[in-house]
Structure 1
Amino acid sequence: MAKFAYAYQKIVGLKESEKRQAEWMLSDALGKLQIQQLSLEQLLSERKLWEDRQTEMAQSAVSLGELLAVQQYISYLDSCIQSKNAEVRRANGVVEQSRSHLTVKLKDEKVWLQAKERAFNRFRQATMLQEQNELDEMATVRFMFAAP
């Protein structure tokens, strides 16, 4: 029996490789997004901590300079939080781009795999037809030799 060899197997392999690369890119983008979100959470918790500290200081006898220093630090944290929010939005955009890129690569790979499957089915049908013809021919020859 003949062995199936798909003429475009290298393209199928390339499409599988491109899909794998797109999966890695998405995984990397998700990791970076997670890091940015964690950093944002840390900034928000630090801001809350300093805000609570400022409230406590306002209720006790501390100098105005200390209160101003804490307020300036909270303002600095606010600007860091705004910047980090922008980074999180950018990271989300990269994740969405990676997702759409992966979707395209998945569809592309699926098209080529379906084409390979159709080619294999045609090959299998042709092989089965050839085998049936050979069996029919053998039966005919046997019948002719058996009949006197």
Structure 2
Amino acid sequence: MPFKFAFQKIVDLKTSEKTQAEWTLSSAVGELRSQEQSLHQLRLEKQRMQDRISAESAAQTTVSQLMIYQSYMEHIDHKISEKYKAVTAAQNNVDRKKETLNLKMMEEKIWLNARDKAKQRFMFEMLKKEQDALDEMASVRHLRTL
């Protein structure tokens, strides 16, 4: 008689929930990487603009051009500030997803341990029944020889 765990569907559900939590964590990490890459691109753009301003300041530049550059630098700074907030939000999301995954992993482990303990009890009972049957057969044989 094979072992059948009464709560196997719960174990399967917990495993599925853990897998889903892994997927959502992976997605959140991907979003974080995307936000970090976008922030990096904005920083590079700011650096290029600063280099351009430095190069052109040696040459004759009009006040209107400087004002345009200043306005663009403020715009990039604002975008960088917004991107920092987005990166922080993405990092917080990753942290929440990690916590959820840890919880799901613990729940799955609890149910897997329960299943393992039930299987051990089942095996113990099966071995005990088998041993009792062998003992009974030995007793009957012994009585027949008398």
- 2:78 aligned counterpart, secondary structure: helix
| Residues 47-83 of structure 1 deviation map (CA, whole Å, 9 limit, x = unaligned) | 0010111111111112222222112111110000001
Q: Residue 13 of structure 1 corresponds to which residue in structure 2?
A: 12
| Residues 60-116 of structure 1 deviation map (CA, whole Å, 9 limit, x = unaligned) | 112222222112111110000001010001101100110111111111111111111
**TM-score (ref. length: structure 1):** 0.95
CA distance in structure 2 between the partners assigned to 1:67 and 1:55 by the alignment: 11
Matched pairs, number: 146
Q: Residue 111 of structure 1 corresponds to which residue in structure 2?
A: 110
8 Å CA contact retained: 1:15, 1:108: yes
Q: Residue 27 of structure 2 corresponds to which residue in structure 1?
A: 28
**TM-score (ref. length: structure 2):** 0.97
- 1:116 aligned counterpart, secondary structure: helix
Q: Residue 67 of structure 2 corresponds to which residue in structure 1?
A: 68
Instruction: Please tell me the residue identity of whatever aligns with 1:96.
Output: D
Matched, 1:120 2:119: yes
Instruction: Please tell me the residue identity of whatever aligns with 1:41.
Output: H
Gaps of at least 5 residues in structure 1 are: none
Write out the 4+ residue segments of structure 1 that deviate beyond 4 Å after TM superposition: none
8 Å CA contact retained: 1:22, 1:101: yes
8 Å CA contact retained: 1:54, 1:71: no
Gaps of at least 5 residues in structure 2 are: none
Instruction: Please tell me the residue identity of whatever aligns with 1:14.
Output: L
- 2:66 aligned counterpart, secondary structure: helix
Q: Alignment identity in percent?
A: 38
CA distance in structure 2 between the partners assigned to 1:125 and 1:15 by the alignment: 27
Q: Residue 41 of structure 2 corresponds to which residue in structure 1?
A: 42
- 1:21 aligned counterpart, secondary structure: helix
